[in-house]
Amino acid sequence: TGAPFRLDRALVLSKMTRYEVEKYCHPHLTEAQLEKLIRSRGSNFESLIEHHQRHKDYERYVIETFKSMGIDTKLQNRSDYSDSWIESCDAVFPVGGDGTFLLAASRVRQNTKPVIGFNSDPHHSEGFLCLPKDYSSRIKDVLRQLQEGSFSWMFRTRIRVTLRCKYSEPPIELTDKKILGTHRTKLNTGAKNMSSAASPHRLSP
């Protein structure tokens, strides 16, 4: 049993769903066009939307529960997640699965800042790093146990990996790589189109 934990300010880190990644990578497409593109890859569009909605519904449930208990709660996504937000809160609560938990933990550098994960889809995801699945529907119980000190902390060991290579760009996560890769493709395609369009109008020196 630990000492009571005072939680006045909570930072909730949101998972980026597959649907959100697709929307981000293809902002020029209408919903119907995006659906057609996703189906053309053999993906189940209804399942993708259902998963996205399930996560967002649970995310709202987490936020509303925290606020109902008088906790100042901020919601951040992966692109807004920064050191300043981490420093301003008492604890970080990733909502998603193990990937979201690892993202949250990667930015927390002191063992005095708790990272407490909620599995947003316990029926279809294990979430080994998150709280046990039954706590996904018992958020108030979790918060009360924190306030009462009816818990014990689990300290996890991190492994530091150093990459040495000839490339100057720092390593990035797979989701970010997909997003950045899409933008680079657009930029390269745009540059080629501009070049081909401009070539007939070039003037000889």
What are 107-158's pLDDT values in tens digits? 898 888 999 999 999 988 888 999 999 999 999 999 999 999 998 888 888 7
Considering the entire predicted model, what is its pTM?
0.78
pLDDT, mean of residues 175-201: 43
pLDDT confidence of residue 195: 34
Taking the C-alpha atoms of 68, 153, 110 and 81 in order, what is their torsion angle to the nearest 10 degrees?
-40
Strands (E), the chain: 9-14, 72-76, 91-96, 118-119
Which candidate, 8, 13, 1, places its Cα nearest to that of 118? 13
The residue to which tokens 């979790």 are assigned: 142
Q: Which domains does the chain have, with CATH numbers?
A: 9-148 (3.40.50)
Mean pLDDT lowest for which of 27-41, 122-136, 163-177, 178-192? 178-192
d(CA 123, CA 119): 9
Residue 98, H or E segment = helix 98-106
